[in-house]
Amino acid sequence: MIAALQEADRDSDTRAVILAGKGAYFCSGGKVDGFPDGRIVDQRAFADIIVDTVKAIHNMHKPIIAAVAADAVAGGFMYMNACDLAVAGENSKFGLPEIQRGYFPMVALVTLQRTVPKKRLLELAFTGDLIDARTMYQWNLVNRVVPDEKVMEAAEEIALRLTGYNPMSLSLGRDCYYACQTMNIDDAMRYADAAIVNMVNTHDAKETAYAAAQGRPPQYLGY
């Protein structure tokens, strides 16, 4: 999955990415390798790959949309949340059931705390209860809720709309959002100030203006 994300990010013809599951789950997380009797080195490797996969989603330079047509729990909840946008099937469920397996969603506490309110996040972690797609929408954790069979169609609709916009501005804007999350307000404003100047001096930003003035479709080159 990490390799596929990196390949898509390098591909100049790819403008947006959809992350989807196959089968009964979007992603059900996984059993910690060797738990409860395995070696620490194997369990650490399991934790490392979960962290690295979330990082790979964050490190994309293109919009990434989660298409959740089935349950997204544990690691799957983190992967969905790491995406920029999310479409959920009306029968899908979300949550952190690790406590019911005898352990706790340590990584999820870090990756989810910037988007899920404290009381909601700790309730999910403490109880292991799953919540439905409509509740996720009310919590502003998914963008759309559609019939299960329409999830990919809705995700593709969003992706196709995004591909019509200037890819450089989308990329630089996405980078700005995530870079500024860990900055204080002064540093974030300085970063955004410089990002504006960089953006308007790209070929594709200028091409958008030229094409509009000349009444023609823009020809984006990715720089």
Between CA 50 and CA 44 the distance in angstroms is 10
Examine the domain organization and report whether 101 and 201 are in the same domain: no
**Residue carrying the six token digits 């509009």:** 212
Quick one: tokens of 100?
A: 């019911």
Domain that holds residue 197: 167-214
CA dist 78 and 92 (Å) reads 15
| Same-domain check for residues 62 and 30 | yes
Q: Are residues 34 and 136 in the same domain?
A: yes
Nearest CA-CA partner of 27 in 55, 58, 50, 60:
50
Residues facing 202 on adjacent strands: none
188 is written with which tokens? 């974030």
Identify the burial level of 202 via C-beta atoms within 10 angstroms of its C-beta, where 0-12 means exposed, 13-18 middle and 19 or more buried: buried
Q: In this structure, what token pair is assigned to residue 10?
A: 């390098």
With a threshold of 0.85, does the pTM exceed it?
yes
Question: pLDDT digit of tens for each residue in the chain (223 aa)?
Answer: 999 999 999 998 899 999 999 877 898 887 666 666 777 777 778 888 889 999 999 999 999 999 999 999 999 999 999 999 999 999 999 999 999 988 899 989 998 998 999 999 999 999 999 999 999 999 999 999 999 999 999 999 999 999 989 999 999 999 999 999 889 999 999 999 999 999 999 999 999 999 999 999 999 988 8
- According to DSSP, the β-strands at 130-132 and 93-95 are antiparallel
In the chain, the number of structural domains is: 2
The confidence score (pLDDT) of residue 36 equals: 67
| Per-residue model confidence (pLDDT) at position 35 | 64
| Within-domain flag for 223 | no
